Homo-oligomer: A and B are copies of this chain.
């Protein structure tokens, strides 16, 4: 344990999307404190690794997941957030497509929970989750991070449902598809859904290269929720 930093820890918010629901991956804690309780996957940092490396290692060890979108949220450092001793935690958040990264047997202690039905979480994990949700809601509008939560190939309806689940409001289907397709960031594939009980929808792929190129020209990704009519009572 001498090779660990004892004043810092890492906790990961792992968001996934499946069946129209946004989900969070929790693990059942193996050790005290809060042993046996569902909590954010977390761990400590080795002296020999950067914090980003540590976050990837911890995630891999606890859940078997790797090569996923992983970014730092922020540090949480209330004095008494971790009862045993003073530890500041670095919160990371990951976005993954449930199908792209199925849970292996390796992660027997891990389970997906719909974000609307989370169990009580220990320490300040509830606050971390709330902050992560807020950040996700903000980011999905201004950055094309939503695609990380979908399979490589997806339909426009899946994309729309993802936005609806995260933003928590309904979107108009024709308008949503018009907006997204006109952005020229989705590549229509010569493929369609299979085994669906209705007309098969075309599959699309996100064009990351094109996005990067457009960004250099000053392009800004924006998916605004419908602005409700502004009541202009006085003036």
What 0/1 readout, one digit per residue, does chain A (7-24) give for beta carbons within 8 Å of chain B? 110000000000000000
Interface residues on A, range: 35 or more
Is the pair B230, A224 in contact by a Cβ cutoff of 8 Å?
A: no
Cα distance, A101 to B87, chains bound together (Å): 34
Tell yes or no: A170 within 8 A of B by CB: no
Cα distance, A230 to B183, chains bound together (Å): 10
Within the complex, which residue of B79, B184, B217 is in contact with A49, where a contact is CB–CB below 8 Å? B79
Within the complex, which residue of B76, B222, B232 is in contact with A224, where a contact is CB–CB below 8 Å? B222
Within the complex, which residue of B45, B48, B184, B220 is in contact with A77, where a contact is CB–CB below 8 Å? B45
Tell yes or no: A165 within 8 A of B by CB: no
Is the pair B5, A86 in contact by a Cβ cutoff of 8 Å?
A: yes
CB-CB < 8 A to A169: which residues of B? 218
Please give the count of copies of this chain that the complex contains: 2
Is the pair A75, B72 in contact by a Cβ cutoff of 8 Å?
A: yes
Tell yes or no: A110 within 8 A of B by CB: no
Is the pair B77, A74 in contact by a Cβ cutoff of 8 Å?
A: no
Cα distance, A78 to B45, chains bound together (Å): 11
Tell yes or no: A51 within 8 A of B by CB: yes
Cα distance, A47 to B86, chains bound together (Å): 7
CB-CB < 8 A to A228: which residues of B? 217-218
Q: Which 4 A-B pairs have the closest CB atoms?
A: A51-B77, A7-B7, A72-B74, A5-B7
Interface residues of A (CB under 8 A from B): 5-8, 45, 47-52, 54, 72, 74-79, 86, 88, 90, 138, 141-142, 169, 184, 217-220, 222, 224-225, 227-228, 230, 232
List 29 A-B pairs, Cβ < 8 Å.
Answer: A5-B7, A5-B88, A6-B7, A7-B7, A7-B8, A8-B8, A8-B88, A45-B77, A47-B79, A47-B86, A49-B79, A50-B77, A50-B79, A51-B76, A51-B77, A72-B75, A74-B74, A75-B90, A77-B90, A184-B230, A184-B232, A217-B228, A218-B225, A218-B227, A219-B230, A220-B224, A220-B225, A220-B227, A222-B224
